Amino acid sequence: MLKVALGQFAVSRVWEENAQVCEDLMRRASEAGAGLLILPEGILARDITDPQIVLKAAQPLDGPFVSRLLAASRGSRLATMFCVHVPTGDGRVWNTLVTLRDGEIISEYRKLHLYDAFNMKESTNVTPGDQIPPLLEIDGLKIGLMTCYDVRFPEMARRLALDGADLLALPAAWVRGSLKENHWEVLVTARALENTCYIAATGECGERNIGRSMVVDPLGVVTASAGEGPALVLTEIDPERLAHARKVLPVLANRRFAAPELA
């Protein structure tokens, strides 16, 4: 059994303030017995009036922000997952999902699908990744990594499920808009149900983004959720529920298509 925490908050434009919020959420999640804490996407800085903030605020993984959270993670079994913008070296950035545990970076994933939709263009400043992330194992469960807009691409979730994922982790910053809350709920639930996986999706809240963090089980049941404000939500990932879902709904075994490959 893995206890998962979703740490939802509104990101400020000052990285030190965001680091302090993360440290507090890490402490509270650890005290609650969580083995995994999922924070939102883009937590270095947010300023809806400055489209260049991702470039101005970007830091390398050995920079002060991640170093501070690494220090906070030492001596704890808690794994903490979040997305930050990391300089590529050519004036652009990668949107990088990082997982920390006990003072070490244990996984990195560069976002594959960039948010060039709904009159926004993430690719203006961000370079896409070029690799499907390997699974991360925590407390005996295998975790597939995705970031925000990735959830709109069922091929990615299916590939991670076929690779063996029990849980899909999804840090996000889901932008407000007409019916966008509905899109979020439908897509997160669909990715869980169609792959008989758990999915734990943490959204940033605040002026621009919806929050609405949620965990959905392999049969499409929402087991935990948050509203529009800051929150720490906890729930358990149950291997028995996973095994039951895959027995009564063997979609992975019944499929007729090969595993998706990255183009």
Are the C-beta atoms of residues 102 and 75 closer than 8 Å to each other? yes
Tell me whether residue 262 is exposed, middle or buried, using C-beta atoms within 10 angstroms of its C-beta: 0 to 12, 13 to 18, 19 or more. Answer: exposed
In angstroms, rounded to a whole number, what is the distance separating the alpha carbons of residues 187 and 31? 31
Would you name the residues annotated as active-site residues? 41, 111, 148
Number of residues assigned to the chain:
263
DSSP state for residue 51 in the 8-state scheme: T
- Token reading at 114: 């960039």
151 membership: H or E segment, kind and range: none
- Token reading at 260: 């998706």
**CA nearest 220: which of 243, 198, 250?**
198
- CA 29 to chain centroid, in Å, comes to 16
